[in-house]
Structure 1
Amino acid sequence: MAQIAWLGKKSPFCGNVSYGISTTEALRRRGHQVHFIHFDNPRSPERDNTSLLANDPDVSLPYLVKSQVYTIPSPGAQRELRESLERLQPDLVHASLTLSPLDFRLPELCQQLGVPLVATFHPPFDAGLRNLTAGTQQLSYQLYAPALARYDRVIVFSQLQADFLERLGVPADRLTVIPNGVDTDRWCPTTPGTLSLRHQQVRQRLGRERIVLYMGRLATEKNVEALLRAWRLVAPEGCRLVIVGDGPLRNSLMNQFNDDGILWWGHEPDQDTRVALLQCAEVFILPSLVEGLSLALLEAMASGTACVATDAGADGEVLEQGAGIVLSTQGVTTQLRTLLPVLRDQPVLTAELGRKARVRALERYTISRNIDALEQLYADLMLTSTVAA
């Protein structure tokens, strides 16, 4: 079994946080020793250095600014990271990149320590560059490409993303496509007689209407305003739109769309509640302008919820060939204005879409398949490192 130093995020909640926590938990269940290195509040002078000890699974690094999108570490963070790695002596380092200046220093640091370095590169993209947000996101790829070329392996979520990075100069033999995966035993449809107390509580709060759900950040690139505009135009009778999540646009969107048919749920930190929300939802909609591979989308699919998403990033690939409904990132409001009445009037269609989404998740996007591929990558990399030594 491998000893892994995992550099990632535990807060604030976002897809990167979900990815890091679910992946490290799965690796530990398979017997690997995982030390989670993340940015946390600086330790007080009174505390000892237990977070740097080799037997501590959690290591914290000080920071100045931390958001859902980027992190600015404190001046001493790089020194503490080096000391942590020297004490831990891991077989490899896996960085779930946090959009931090440390991302650019890791290749040199790990080379000096003689430790193989793996990255998972998350930033959303739209290879078609069909909007300003996509153009802005491409800049992050251009900025990162020279550094990613120095990592031993770079994990991306789709071949589209790999091709994009290869065109920017990242060697093809350093790129590995490993799609996100979800625990399909946890994220699953309900069955008669098995409704949990949490599910019943969530259902009571949602009311008796049919539920259309958005779950994610409330930020420009998520394009939630397009969904809200379409909902206001259609106002589907007997349905409720539930917005789960937080972000910089929350207050402005709430003020603009404080309609009776919309429930602003807010940030939901409890996973069991999020599971229940998706089980209660009939339709999940993701109107993003740019994406990587949305974990929320995969969770909705595994839950047997009918899924509608744009073709940003890898999301269109996930829903291709009938596993869901794919929209263009252009004119989302217009497309949803046409689609929402169909989804309202055709419950048989939404049920069949939910069934197909679940089948697709089981075929391609389980956490087990993800960890199998990750373990094989680790083994190959450690073998290469041993031979080179």
Structure 2
Amino acid sequence: MKKVFVISNMYPSKEHLSFGIFVKNQVEALRNSNIDVIVAANDNPKTGKKNTILKYSKWAKEVLSKALKYKKEISITHAHYVFPSGVFSFMMKKMFNIPYVVTAHGGDIERMAKKSASIRNWTEKILQESSYVIAVGPVLADQIEKDYGIPRDRILVCSMGVNRQQFKPGNKEIVRKELNLDDDAFIYLFVGNVIKQKGVEELLIAFQQVKKEANRKVKLVIIGSQRDRSFVNSLSPLMDDDVLMYGPMKQNELVKWYQASDVFVLPSHLEGFGLVALEAIASGTPVIASDVGGLTYLLKDGAGHLVEPKNPKALADEMFNALTTPKEQYTNQEACDEILHIHDADEITKRVIRLYESAVNGGSSL
């Protein structure tokens, strides 16, 4: 195998550290496994018609430039997100006969494909023409098989994986001192975009309820992009001094917040996989999450605690349960160890490389 051309509409930059960081992590893991990877990616998360036209035009030029420069050296392309990234892989297959695999991350199937008939048609075409489809969770794989007629033997259920050399348990007392956090507070943590679909409003409502019932100091830390300013501003009545909000941060900093927290909470309305929940588990932090999408699969055997989505009361009840239950009783360590073994980034990198090799050699089923 010569070069792998990774095409993604999300990729981090110095200004936007968490934007598509999971794609960059996989690229680096592939390079560490001696795979020659070239990347053409959009690293600009700004929205609005003018910004969208400018950033996608710039990205398209980069894809085209690298496609023409390396077309004889590229063995396979790997598109992250079916649309729009998969359009480029589809075109390169038609123009240069280069096979491709595509990773569906959830939002591309759940939201993007439903925006218009045209996007849905492109989504179907891209999935049908791919050598393989990688779905980050089994619920997503079922949806792709059912809604788009992709044979199950061409779908690999495979998360982006967690780097367990980076995300691992730490000394809570030491880390809290480093982060200037109260020793005696019970800390809940959320990591993700501060948007409605992530259940941040329900989280804040639930936290305020827990505060009323708790007989000890509690804090809520929210880490993530706050680009949706109108939504963030709408949360102000639920904010107080016990809610700490930070922007995205580098992963070597983020892991400290996982280690310093008592419970990680992810109350999403929908979730293709829920990689941040996996990072929390790897860091030794118990997880509460919505019973949706990939989170259902990830946590169903006891690796975390599932609650009904969009239900602040159910969420508050489980958050209070975590507060009043000793960690060793609240956490099923055996289930956590099993899920971490399955989703170890090193193992997943090996699986992705085997998939590339099969596609390059003309394989059409797993």
TM tier, smaller: 0.7 to 0.9
Query: Is 2:21 the partner of 1:18?
Result: yes
Query: Separation in 2 of the partners of 1:20 and 1:246?
Result: 17
For 1:297 and 1:164, how far apart are their aligned partners in 2?
22
Q: Which of 353, 360, 366 matches 1:382?
A: 360
Amino acid across the alignment from 1:24: V
Residue of structure 2 equivalent to 1:97 = 81
Q: Pick from 169, 173, 181 the counterpart of residue 189 of structure 1.
A: 169
- State whether residues 282 and 350 of structure 1, in contact with CA within 8 Å, keep that contact through their aligned partners in structure 2: no
Residue equivalent to 2:125: 146
Q: CA deviation at 1:272?
A: 1.4
Contact 1:123 1:137 in 2 (8 A): no
Which residue type is aligned with residue 4 of structure 1? V
Q: Which residue of 2 aligns with 1:50?
A: none
The residue number in structure 1 matching 2:272 is: 292
2:340 maps to 1:362? yes
Change (3 A) 1:40 1:262: closer
Q: Aligned equivalents of 2:43 and 2:305: distance in 1?
A: 40
Q: Aligned AA for 2:359?
A: L
Write the letter of the residue equivalent to 2:248: E
CA distance 1:81–1:373, shift in 2 (3 Å): same
Q: CA offset at residue 147 of structure 1?
A: 2.7
Residue of structure 2 in register with 1:82 after alignment: 64
Judged with a 3 Å threshold, the aligned counterparts in structure 2 of structure 1 residues 240 and 184 are, in CA distance, closer, same or farther, namely: same
Q: Is the 8 A contact 2:42 2:55 kept in 1?
A: no
1:107 corresponds to = 90
* Secondary structure in structure 2 of the residue aligned to 1:299: helix
Aligned residues: 344
* Corresponding residue for residue 7 of structure 2: 7
The question of whether the paired residues in 2 share the 8 Å contact of 1:16 and 1:122 is answered with: no
Whether 1:117 and 2:117 are equivalent positions in the alignment is no
- Secondary structure of the 1:163 match is helix
SS at match of 1:322: coil
Q: Tell me the CA shift for residue 297 of structure 1.
A: 0.8
| CA distance in 1: counterparts of 2:148 and 2:184, whole angstroms | 53
1:306-357 deviations in Å (ceiling 9; x for gaps): 00111211111111121110112252x010222222211113356634x356
After TM superposition, list the pairs within 5 Å mapping 1:58-77 onto structure 2: 65=51, 73-74=56-57, 77=59
Shift of 1:104: 2.8
User: Aligned-pair distance for 1:137?
Assistant: 6.3
Find the aligned partners of 1:34 and 1:343 in 2 and give their Cα distance. 43
Aligned counterparts of 1:107 and 1:379: Cα–Cα separation in 2: 19
Corresponding residue of 1:244: 223
CA distance in 1 between partners of 2:240 and 2:321 (Å): 21
Alignment partners' CA distance in 2, 1:207 and 1:348:
16
Q: Quick one: distance in 2 between partners of 1:350 and 1:212? A: 18
Give the direction of change, closer, same or farther, for the CA distance of 1:64–1:360 in structure 2 (3 Å limit): farther
Please report how far the alpha carbon of residue 160 of structure 1 lies from its aligned counterpart in structure 2 after TM superposition: 1.7
Secondary structure at the aligned position of 2:273 is classed as: coil
2:260 and 2:28 mapped to 1: Cα distance?
26
d(CA) in 1 for partners of 2:343, 2:274: 11
2:74 is paired with a residue whose SS is coil
The residue aligned with 1:312 is 292
Gaps of 5+ in 1: 42-62, 127-133
Cα distance in 1 for partners of 2:293, 2:19 equals 15
C-alpha distance in 1 between matches for 2:163 and 2:19: 16
Question: What is the one-letter code of the residue matched to 2:178?
Answer: Q
Question: Which residue is 1:160 aligned to?
Answer: 139
**CA deviation profile, 1:171-213 (whole Å, cap 9, x unmatched):** 21432211221111210101599x5xx76422x1466412110
* TM-score normalised by L of structure 2: 0.84
**Letter aligned with residue 128 of structure 2:** A
- Relative contact order, higher structure (CA 8 A, sep 6+): 2
**Partner residue in 2 for 1:58:** none
Task: Please state how far the C-alpha of 1:220 moved relative to its aligned partner.
Answer: 1.6
Query: 1:322 aligned to 302, 310, 313, which one?
Result: 302
Deviation at 1:40?
5.4
Partners of 1:164 and 1:30 in 2: CA distance: 32
Task: Name structure 2 gaps, 5 residues minimum.
Answer: none
Q: CA RMSD in A?
A: 2.9
Alignment TM-score, normalising by the size of structure 1: 0.79
Aligned: 1:38 with 2:16: no
Correspondent of 2:205 among 215, 226, 229: 229
* Residue 44 of structure 1: aligned partner: none
Alignment partners' CA distance in 2, 1:225 and 1:71: 32
1:15 and 1:295 in contact (8 A); partners too: no
| Letter of the 1:377 counterpart | L
- Which stretches of structure 1, 4 residues or more, deviate above 6 A after TM superposition? none
> Hey, what's the Cα distance between the residues in 2 that align with 1:260 and 1:339?
22
